[in-house]
Structure 1
């Protein structure tokens, strides 16, 4: 039996720096000379890729250094101009640049082969990929050689003055919380500097603690009227928590900006014509940022609920490939479906929950909202309020809440099926298929795994 290795969890924090005017000049010179070296190295690596491509990642960097860097034991190299042009260039900065150049060339070779085979062509006239020698890279800092950390209030960075390399101490003004978690390991940060920002991009190898979860799950129904409907259900089918998450203020800000785009488009085009490329690009960028903020707010709250109830898993519907059928073209309903953040919320929730040692599972989305959680059959939507469902018994219930409870039941059955090897069948005894299960199916279970 093969033992599956646990996947590494790498997350990145932003540490804000507060440089002086002189330090900003030094950072600019450092980034400039680092990018010059990267452009220089990409050409060399691409020229010798026939030999470098077959080496392992540990062998590639020394192989490139043997081509460009002369030492006492190796006085003659193929490209001696490198030591003259980049005088006294720190060895660890040089190795970071070599690693970047190898990555750029390797990516280009892969993409070019896919283009040749036709795997990446969307149309017959698609142009081949381009090898970008710089690609806006930033210097990677290695501990002890490129940076020295003084607590978490200041950091010394080796920078370029234009003629020499010196150490400069800069204040750290903003941190996240990952550096304070005992199991996390700090990796080599990158110095991000341009006209707008100055910070360190600090990756962490996160090692979550081992969990001893209770027998319950968090089920999330992602909707249009309500962003997320959250239900906590035990393995026995008892609902112990319900919550509606809907950051209305941020949604209104986004929708107001999108309405302004439609108004400006009518004034620009009139009844006919075309919009120029990049029309309202800044507005669309702001709307995308608002969507990211909404996704982070919702996912953060879901993870908080999961942590508070110590759940075994967070359950979502599998909505991959789903396309809206309702709403005519260019209607308000179509626009709301287009802004539905079903994928982002799932991705951000999974990223946050993985750091805490939890798992996220997906269940089949069919009939989660159409079937009544009490087993009374298919529900009907209220004609005056589409968010309400009418059961066969005449009971009126929130449709999203009904769907989240059914999602929880399917997630619980999926988890217990994996644990219970004595019940391999895909059919529940006396009930519907597991993929179409409802909350009532948990009430009738007699399996000891659900006790």
Structure 2
């Protein structure tokens, strides 16, 4: 039996440092990064011997090269103890693990480049960059001590010695309250913009006893996500439309300003400089990130509310948008389609609760009527409206969600699992192109709710 993958999620614990504590944190991060740079040089110089060792064997092997003790007075690189006076042993080992990972990554990428595995023909070789923006990992008892969840005591560097300082925790999430979650070593993240503890948790979700239904998601442009909860008998017990219009308008307004500024900058000809409107694009990326979290959170809430077996998405990997008519904004709208982001965020949130995400064939989900009457006709003026051959008018995205849910059920119960095989009945699409009506005829005779 396949062992379930370990689920690790990270919380951000906001800290409220005083001006003096900010100076201490700045010094701590600075000396930790210097130690990492020093260790990268040592590890890379001896990588031919160190690269074959396991993670547990590597740390003592590196310490034999640079850490002096009473039993080991002679080492090859004695400067470390002199340059980093009283450097905490646990911080030193965290720096070793980070530096070894950095060197290992570089060596792997360089060997791939040498073997000709390159994105471009004239791609330059990778460089070993020891000056990275890493942050110190804190080990419980040695580097930090929790006083409830209101205060934390952290060992910091004051320029000459390592001392303890107590700081207020001003913001938490809920993962520390879950009994099955195990807290791992946090990292102290400090720079000009933020100060917080990045706290990873190993999440062990409880074994679920789901109901016989799936939560189907149709990701669109007119409506960000259309939800339908479909039972194994083909009954739709819930439907919902998720569309954070305010955030989408904020993003689109900023993107529209880019074209206006570009025309004012270039005039009738010319080129835009590198990094043109980079701050605007960064802001839009952040808005997209927020939209992805808002939508995925709501999808998971619905799946949890109905205790669904799985969340079902269309398999849109490799799908590329086609441009619309001249001067239409269809291409730009497709670029704002967060299909991958929403799906990935949903999978991460749902896995933390012990659920699974499955994908079905995307072909003809919105084109075929869920009642089996045939191919729908889309309204040219209002594309979200579909007309069935029977004359029934229905929401095209909701119709797609019904069919996605039916295909998800078939995939779970083990029927119609042969993707791409043709049906024995002539004139029928491949078996994986199932509609909701197929559930009624094959798995039950319930009517649509």
Query: Under TM normalisation by the shorter chain, which class is it?
Result: over 0.9
**Whole-Å Cα distance in 1 between the matches of residues 327 and 379 of structure 2?**
25
Contact 1:16–1:198 under 8 Å retained in 2: yes
Q: How does 1:108-119 map to 2 (within 5 A)?
A: 108-119=106-117
SS at match of 1:231: strand
- Residue 122 of structure 1: how far off its partner (Å): 2.3
Contact 1:410–1:434 under 8 Å retained in 2: no
Describe the shift of the 1:118–1:179 C-alpha distance in structure 2 as closer, same or farther (beyond 3 A). Answer: same
Q: 2:30 aligns with which of 8, 20, 32?
A: 32
- Residue 87 of structure 1: how far off its partner (Å): 1.0
Q: Which residue of 1 aligns with 2:132?
A: 135
Contact 1:413–1:434 under 8 Å retained in 2: no
Contact 2:312–2:360 under 8 Å retained in 1: yes
Q: Which residue of 1 aligns with 2:371?
A: 374
Q: Does 1:394 align with 2:377?
A: no
Q: Which residue of 1 aligns with 2:254?
A: 257
Q: Which residue of 2 aligns with 1:346?
A: 343
Q: Does 1:58 align with 2:73?
A: no
- Residue 72 of structure 1: how far off its partner (Å): 1.7
**Whole-Å Cα distance in 2 between the matches of residues 99 and 127 of structure 1?**
27
Q: How does 1:180-199 map to 2 (within 5 A)?
A: 180-199=177-196
**Whole-Å Cα distance in 1 between the matches of residues 109 and 328 of structure 2?**
39
Describe the shift of the 1:125–1:329 C-alpha distance in structure 2 as closer, same or farther (beyond 3 A). Answer: farther
Contact 2:254–2:280 under 8 Å retained in 1: yes
**Whole-Å Cα distance in 1 between the matches of residues 359 and 82 of structure 2?**
58
Q: 1:123 aligns with which of 114, 117, 120?
A: 120
Q: Does 1:290 align with 2:277?
A: no
Q: Does 1:412 align with 2:409?
A: yes
Q: Which residue of 2 aligns with 1:268?
A: 265
**What is the CA deviation profile of residues 411-436 of structure 1, one whole-angstrom value per residue up to 9, with x for unaligned ones?**
00000007x99x99967786753310
SS at match of 2:302: helix
**Whole-Å Cα distance in 1 between the matches of residues 331 and 241 of structure 2?**
23
Q: Which residue of 2 aligns with 1:206?
A: 203
Describe the shift of the 1:380–1:424 C-alpha distance in structure 2 as closer, same or farther (beyond 3 A). Answer: closer
Q: Does 1:433 align with 2:430?
A: yes
Normalising by structure 1, what TM-score? 0.95
Contact 1:153–1:173 under 8 Å retained in 2: yes
Describe the shift of the 1:446–1:262 C-alpha distance in structure 2 as closer, same or farther (beyond 3 A). Answer: closer
RMSD of aligned Cα (Å): 1.9
SS at match of 1:305: helix
**Whole-Å Cα distance in 1 between the matches of residues 289 and 252 of structure 2?**
14
Normalising by structure 2, what TM-score? 0.96
Q: Which residue of 1 aligns with 2:237?
A: 240
Describe the shift of the 1:447–1:242 C-alpha distance in structure 2 as closer, same or farther (beyond 3 A). Answer: closer
Contact 1:417–1:424 under 8 Å retained in 2: no
**Whole-Å Cα distance in 2 between the matches of residues 84 and 325 of structure 1?**
63
- Residue 185 of structure 1: how far off its partner (Å): 0.4
**Whole-Å Cα distance in 1 between the matches of residues 437 and 40 of structure 2?**
62
Q: Which residue of 2 aligns with 1:355?
A: 352
Q: How does 1:22-171 map to 2 (within 5 A)?
A: 22-119=20-117, 121-171=118-168
**What is the CA deviation profile of residues 10-36 of structure 1, one whole-angstrom value per residue up to 9, with x for unaligned ones?**
100000000111111100110010011
Describe the shift of the 1:446–1:264 C-alpha distance in structure 2 as closer, same or farther (beyond 3 A). Answer: closer
**Whole-Å Cα distance in 2 between the matches of residues 350 and 18 of structure 1?**
33
**Whole-Å Cα distance in 1 between the matches of residues 209 and 335 of structure 2?**
39
- Residue 331 of structure 1: how far off its partner (Å): 3.8
**What is the CA deviation profile of residues 334-377 of structure 1, one whole-angstrom value per residue up to 9, with x for unaligned ones?**
10001100000000000000000000000000000110000011
SS at match of 2:163: strand
Contact 2:234–2:444 under 8 Å retained in 1: no
SS at match of 1:335: helix
Q: 1:305 aligns with which of 294, 302, 305?
A: 302
**Whole-Å Cα distance in 2 between the matches of residues 424 and 228 of structure 1?**
25
SS at match of 1:171: strand
**Whole-Å Cα distance in 1 between the matches of residues 444 and 420 of structure 2?**
13
Unaligned runs of 5+ in 2: none
Q: 1:8 aligns with which of 6, 9, 12?
A: 6
Contact 2:385–2:396 under 8 Å retained in 1: yes
SS at match of 1:118: coil
